[in-house]
Amino acid sequence: MSDVPTLPAADRALILGSSSRYRRELLARLGLPFEVAAPDVDETPRPGEAPPALARRLALAKARDVAARFPQAIVIGSDQVADLAGQPLGKPGTHERARAQLRAMSGQTVIFQTALSVVCLASGFEQSDLAAVEVRFRALDDGEIERYLRAEQPYDCAGSARSEGLGVALLDAIYSDDPTALVGLPLIRTARLLRAAGRVLP
């Protein structure tokens, strides 16, 4: 029998398994104390892997990776993949890749698949969810793409457009049942899974 005490859910540390400052800022809105730990996960898509499956797999892998280091904690993992006609678009990383992404999305509807997993090894809790956000891009010319990229440099953002910033000017419409999902962490679903894991929220 293990000598490690079993903690009530309310006493467990809450850890965000992410290096994203956007997710950190979003989770802070729930008013719960939490820590941050960066997961060590290979985010390379598998051959033929659909964007929703990729997002779900990576979110769970991130949560499990951090939970393995902090087994008593409740760990949140999340991942976002931009889905353009079934093709995954991740973080561009460079100006050239961001330009190519925005050219490809010009005049198109893109589904931003934001997956979420909550894991606690000590209690055996593990649940996941997925928020799909439909985003319609305006027809963009090369000049406005270039001006936008120079102004905002969204190279760490899946799909190369920050809807919470100047990137909203590139869009025609956003449809979502979880408004913060597009920024990187669906808070309605996060609150739901944390309550299921035993945390008390307002």
Residues in the chain, overall count: 202
Is 79 in the active site? yes
Catalytic, out of 3, 40, 65, 79: 79
Kindly compute the dihedral angle of the four CA atoms of residues 149, 155, 158, 159, in this order, to the nearest 10 degrees.
20
**Distances 54 to 11, 97, 127 between C-alpha atoms, Å:** 32, 20, 16
Active site residues: 79
